[in-house]
Structure 1
Amino acid sequence: MSTVEAVGKEVGRMRAVDALMECLKAEGVDVVFGYPGGANLPTYDAFVDAGIRHVLVRHEAGGGHAAEGYAKVAGQVGVCFGTSGPGATNLVTPIVDAMMDSVPVVFFTGQVRTELLGTDGFQEADTIGITMPAVKHSFLITDPRELPRVIHEAFHIARTGRPGPVVIDLPMDLSKADIAYEPVTDVQLPGYQPRTTGNAKQIKQAARALASARRPVIYAGGGVVAAEGADELRALVRAGRFPVTCTLMGLGAYPAPDPLWLGMLGMHGTRAANYAMDEADLICCVGARFDDRITGKLSEFAPRAKFIHIDVDPAEISKNVPAHIPIVGDAKQILGRLTEEYQGLDADHDRLDAWWQRIHAWQERHPLRYDADDQRIKPQAVIQALNRVTDGEAIVCSDVGQHQMWAAQYYDFPAPRRWVNSGGLGTMGFGLPSAIGAQLADLDRTTIVVTGDGSIQMNIQELATIKQENLPVKVICLNNGYLGMVRQWQELFWQERYSHVDMNTFGGEEASPDFVKLADAYGIRGVRLTDPATLEDDLRAVIEAEGPAFVDVRVVRDEKVYPMIAPGEAARDMVG
């Protein structure tokens, strides 16, 4: 059961869209993102009197990613509005992105009038059919009286269990229909009852396994962040002096740096984290799904290990790696109980001494490193400088590519909900609009976009939104003139056959825009950095200045992200 606060208007007759606004208020929604059009004109008319902050994005995809960024930082359901047809189809990418990364967002799409459904009317699209494989749930409103109940059910579904996106498709004629509105005070869905507590016997079994393991690793993912389980994760790790590693989506779930922290694992994770997983005799996976970027060659993944798998989604248990001790439930609850059980066993902590000696040897022999350059700016140095300038306390919103991996490797996230990126879908263009939502979720914290010259151009129009909303977002563009990650793969695995990855060459001149001038065109301060000697001071000046800024950092063009698990190889065979 989900209880909804009854606020706003009491029982009375009103348009369905006015009831929609009352429902948003009851759910505690204070900001939404969207773009108006013909089919959702009644909804936008209702915004005039609603008193809810609406952020006008410049593309529906920007609105969807902004709602994701808000949800990831605020820990609340994000809300996005789009119109019918192309407005709805432009939302498909953020919908899929939210589904892949378990982000709670409710998407409201306009739809043509009911008498036009199925006639190929102007701007008609089968939004429910198109999005059905990519949502947690969806609703097509066929009776305007259903709308209040549906909205609260959508929010409940989006935020509970494994979070995810929900679509509400609202035909135009029904949206302006007159209905008797009565506040909804609770939601009951007998057919939807996510398991949260976990099986007591399996939790005890997991505690005993941890107490007897000699080479354990705690492997935490984004599910720990979603469950607000960071404190419980830290308590378990420290109770057992366990080595801990996090996925790309889980960064911040355990504070970095820390003596027990191995760094990120996976394709571009640390050697220590991946080697520890490879030699572990027990892996306790919490809120992660053993995806291919973690396992490498699946048949050779962690060949010596038994697996505890804790996840709120039963479909993930044993999907890729068989779980010896499966526990279905909420990560926060289960971690707390697991720690209590473990502490009651009086385990011998000295049994891990040899394991830690081996891990420390890997850490000393294989730290994250790169060759410094006195003449050119290395991208890794940019992230390290940002880490120092912000004391690791900024919200970092990343696009997708090499810069994303460098940010994950070299920025130390001390807490959850500070790292916002597209993990499962890997959506270029995610970073800038997500920062809009992230900044609005926490107006007192510095918000930084780490992007590349390829990704930033996917949704660069959202600079106008940042300007209009007066948001002090700082954009740090690691400009190497390439689609850098694709170029890296072509160099390493395609015999240096570079195909359509150079963003700059056109008749011997630069084809990419002058980002400083482009920022100026949007009314945003633009800065270009080229000197490694003054890099940190230059970045500090930008970060500490008021208002938004766009920083074009000219970095080494052919730098590669290392270390790396080559495609189809095992984690023990990392290169670079």
Structure 2
Amino acid sequence: MQLTGAEIIVECLKEQGVDTVFGYPGGAILNVYDALYEYKDQITHVLTSHEQGASHAADGYARATGKVGVCLATSGPGATNLVTGIATAYMDSVPMVAITCNVGTPLLGKDSFQEVDITGIVMPITKHSFIVKDITTLADTVRRAFYIAKSGRPGPVLVDVTKDVTGAKYEYTACAPAEIIPKTDTIKDEDIATAVQMIKEAKRPFIFTGGGTIISEASREVTELAHRIDAPVCDSLMGKGGFSGEDPLYTGMLGMHGTKTSNLGVSGCDLLIVLGARFSDRVTGNTKTFAKNAKILQIDVDAAEINKNIVVDASVVGDEKEVLKRILAEVPEMRHPEWTAHISELKEKYPLRYDHSQLTGPYIIEKLYELTKGDAIITTEVGQNQMWAAQYFKYKEPRTFLSSGGLGTMGYGLGAAIGAKMGRPDKTVVNIAGDGCFRMNMNEIATAVRCGRPLIEIVLNNHVLGMVRQWQTLFYDHRYSHTILNDAVDFVKLAEAMGAKAIRITKMEEVEPALKEALACPGPIVLDCMIDQDLSVFPMVPAGASIDDIFDEEDMKK
């Protein structure tokens, strides 16, 4: 049947199973929005307050559901406003398709009104970017974009379509989505045999799991492996929920703000099994001393990650779930009582600690965990709020912790929370923010209100840029250069002005009643939690130090 280019785009979205898109209209993309009007009963469009909010919402939708997130923007500034969100998704391997529309083909390259080479701009931060100037290639390009975004190591893809293509007509024929097959052709029998032998020989094995565990849906296999070989498990920020935080073998996060147990355990193990993690500098600290007593076995779908940051002793390239299935078929039951007893002693000796005499971020997050019993999707901003959320909430399932790990994007969490709530409306969704981050994209509270769904925004308000101030305290001799937010901004009034309910919390005894009210609230609610400006995130490893040089406040007192 003959359809316009705009209608072809929407039909292709339907083919791919898209039920929700996030965006903001403008002149060049008007034809697509006109088509969406006709399909409004089949595809829900969420109008965000800013295009960056749309990109973060698409990202959050993708992370929470495992499906491809979709965002839309017009040409010029509309398209460039997506860039930070696209880069965020790229760094964290999130499947996303961004559809932008450009000026008409005859106007390209002439500095036309709101013209920008968005495909060129995003080339370093996408798996692929396309510009469609011929309607005959439109449908296949959109389909290919979804396949690229989802296959192998996922990531964002941008499709830019000129306005004349969206208005032209062409024959459309429906097509089933291409099947996404896990990457197994790179898995070699000899690599599996080597991995199995290393595991059999290990006396002090340790498992480090990252975001790849969640992407490949390998959580069950990781859990089975850990219990089969009696190995403790730590995770990266991106790996939260890939292995249950309530499991007795779990030791906490690894790295700069990880637990002492994880850092000391990895430093003392004789085999480190790395699953779907890229050895971020925030994890490894000094690469020359990382896991210095261990052989390292790395399993990853992306061959480019092998030996990129850390030289490993052996590796298996391929889909993590499939690799683990093959390893589990060969690995016997094993027990390491002395090793697991040592790790248990470390856990008992070095628990996470915080000041219980005043209102703090950890207290609020622990109380949230207690009241939800861990059954919630937590999104975060970046900084102290992010680290406390990673440390003090126990994530039992994959896709329940959404955070900007690689890019560290302030302003990410609220948009991501909206996307997560749209994708999984049955789940309680909470965004944990600092006041500095909340300022970045707090206009999306209006979007949350417009969506009409319950969503909790917790602002840990210390009137400073907390993580930067912490570094200024520790390493810059208390020189607080432009990190104090000593103005009169009232987040309660702002939230209420945008149509949300809001509560200010100033003391510990107000936390539980406020959280209970928030959990029962039928719409968006903001909790403005006033905490001290000099609270810090501990434990901590100084930048460039070895991870076993980890210290906390007790160490500083000594």
Q: Say if 2:503 and 2:514, in contact at 8 Å, map to a contact too.
A: no
Q: Say if 1:398 and 1:420, in contact at 8 Å, map to a contact too.
A: yes
Shift of 1:183: 1.7
- The answer for the alignment partner of 2:433 in structure 1 is 451
Please give the secondary structure, in 2, of the residue aligned with 1:300: coil
- The answer for the alignment partner of 1:81 in structure 2 is 72
Q: Residue 153 of structure 2: which of 147, 159, 162 is its match?
A: 162
- The answer for the alignment partner of 2:110 in structure 1 is 119
Please give the secondary structure, in 2, of the residue aligned with 1:478: strand
Shift of 1:456: 0.6
Change (3 A) 1:193 1:342: closer
Q: Residue 398 of structure 1: which of 375, 380, 394 is its match?
A: 380
- The answer for the alignment partner of 1:3 in structure 2 is none
Are 1:483 and 2:483 matched, yes or no? no
The total of aligned residue pairs comes to: 550
- The answer for the alignment partner of 1:520 in structure 2 is 496
- The answer for the alignment partner of 2:399 in structure 1 is 417
Q: Say if 2:244 and 2:397, in contact at 8 Å, map to a contact too.
A: yes
Shift of 1:215: 1.3
How well do the aligned residues superpose, as a CA RMSD in angstroms?
1.4
Shift of 1:204: 2.1
- The answer for the alignment partner of 1:339 in structure 2 is 328
Shift of 1:196: 5.7
2-structure distance, mates of 1:361, 1:185: 55
Shift of 1:188: 9.4
Q: Say if 1:481 and 1:512, in contact at 8 Å, map to a contact too.
A: no
Shift of 1:569: 0.5
Please give the secondary structure, in 2, of the residue aligned with 1:298: coil
- The answer for the alignment partner of 1:383 in structure 2 is 365
Runs of 4+ in 1 over 4 A off after TM superposition: 186-189, 192-197
Q: Residue 359 of structure 1: which of 322, 335, 343 is its match?
A: 343
Change (3 A) 1:188 1:335: closer
Q: Residue 246 of structure 2: which of 257, 266, 288 is its match?
A: 257
Shift of 1:40: 0.6
- The answer for the alignment partner of 1:6 in structure 2 is none
Q: Residue 163 of structure 2: which of 164, 172, 177 is its match?
A: 172
Please give the secondary structure, in 2, of the residue aligned with 1:25: helix
Q: Say if 1:379 and 1:556, in contact at 8 Å, map to a contact too.
A: no
Q: Say if 2:184 and 2:322, in contact at 8 Å, map to a contact too.
A: no
- The answer for the alignment partner of 1:230 in structure 2 is 219
Change (3 A) 1:19 1:163: same
Question: What is the CA deviation profile of residues 534-567 of structure 1, one whole-angstrom value per residue up to 9, with x for unaligned ones?
Answer: 3223212221222210000111221000000111
Q: Residue 196 of structure 2: which of 207, 222, 238 is its match?
A: 207
1-structure distance, mates of 2:43, 2:347: 50
1-structure distance, mates of 2:101, 2:324: 42
Shift of 1:364: 1.6
- The answer for the alignment partner of 1:466 in structure 2 is 448
2-structure distance, mates of 1:290, 1:255: 21
Are 1:330 and 2:319 matched, yes or no? yes
Please give the secondary structure, in 2, of the residue aligned with 1:341: coil
Shift of 1:49: 0.8
2-structure distance, mates of 1:393, 1:336: 28
2-structure distance, mates of 1:558, 1:239: 44
Are 1:183 and 2:165 matched, yes or no? no
Q: Say if 2:221 and 2:324, in contact at 8 Å, map to a contact too.
A: yes
1-structure distance, mates of 2:327, 2:512: 43
Q: Say if 1:16 and 1:145, in contact at 8 Å, map to a contact too.
A: no
Query: Which residue identity lines up with residue 516 of structure 1 in the other structure?
Result: V
Q: Residue 372 of structure 1: which of 346, 356, 381 is its match?
A: 356
Please give the secondary structure, in 1, of the residue aligned with 2:351: coil
1-structure distance, mates of 2:533, 2:518: 23
Are 1:274 and 2:259 matched, yes or no? no
Are 1:564 and 2:553 matched, yes or no? no
Structure 2, unmatched stretches of 5+, are: 553-558
Q: Say if 1:139 and 1:167, in contact at 8 Å, map to a contact too.
A: yes
Query: Which residue identity lines up with residue 21 of structure 1 in the other structure?
Result: V
- The answer for the alignment partner of 1:243 in structure 2 is 232
- The answer for the alignment partner of 2:556 in structure 1 is none
Shift of 1:184: 2.6
- The answer for the alignment partner of 1:48 in structure 2 is 37
Please give the secondary structure, in 2, of the residue aligned with 1:377: coil
Q: Say if 1:196 and 1:330, in contact at 8 Å, map to a contact too.
A: no
1-structure distance, mates of 2:228, 2:512: 38
Matches within 5 A, 1:311-330: 311-330=300-319
Q: Residue 59 of structure 1: which of 47, 50, 70 is its match?
A: 50
1-structure distance, mates of 2:445, 2:182: 42
Single out whichever of 481-490 and 316-325 deviates more from structure 2: 316-325
Shift of 1:357: 2.4
- The answer for the alignment partner of 2:93 in structure 1 is 102
Are 1:283 and 2:272 matched, yes or no? yes
Query: Which residue identity lines up with residue 333 of structure 1 in the other structure?
Result: E
Shift of 1:186: 5.5
2-structure distance, mates of 1:201, 1:406: 42
1-structure distance, mates of 2:415, 2:6: 26
Query: Which residue identity lines up with residue 260 of structure 1 in the other structure?
Result: L
Single out whichever of 432-441 and 525-534 deviates more from structure 2: 525-534
Query: Which residue identity lines up with residue 221 of structure 1 in the other structure?
Result: G
1-structure distance, mates of 2:516, 2:321: 37
Change (3 A) 1:289 1:184: same
Please give the secondary structure, in 2, of the residue aligned with 1:363: helix
Please give the secondary structure, in 2, of the residue aligned with 1:138: strand
Q: Residue 540 of structure 1: which of 516, 530, 535 is its match?
A: 516
1-structure distance, mates of 2:417, 2:175: 33
Q: Say if 2:231 and 2:340, in contact at 8 Å, map to a contact too.
A: no
Query: Which residue identity lines up with residue 356 of structure 2 in the other structure?
Result: A
Question: What is the CA deviation profile of residues 355-396 of structure 1, one whole-angstrom value per residue up to 9, with x for unaligned ones?
Answer: 1222122112111001211xx311110110111011111100
Q: Say if 1:196 and 1:333, in contact at 8 Å, map to a contact too.
A: no
Shift of 1:326: 1.2
Query: Which residue identity lines up with residue 100 of structure 1 in the other structure?
Result: M
Shift of 1:193: 9.8
Please give the secondary structure, in 2, of the residue aligned with 1:66: helix
Question: What is the CA deviation profile of residues 423-457 of structure 1, one whole-angstrom value per residue up to 9, with x for unaligned ones?
Answer: 00000000101001000111011100100110011
2-structure distance, mates of 1:250, 1:548: 28
Task: Compute the TM-score of the two structures, normalised by the length of structure 2.
Answer: 0.97
Please give the secondary structure, in 2, of the residue aligned with 1:568: coil
Q: Say if 1:16 and 1:178, in contact at 8 Å, map to a contact too.
A: yes
Please give the secondary structure, in 2, of the residue aligned with 1:502: coil
Please give the secondary structure, in 2, of the residue aligned with 1:79: strand
Shift of 1:90: 0.6
Q: Say if 1:148 and 1:184, in contact at 8 Å, map to a contact too.
A: no
Query: Which residue identity lines up with residue 392 of structure 1 in the other structure?
Result: G
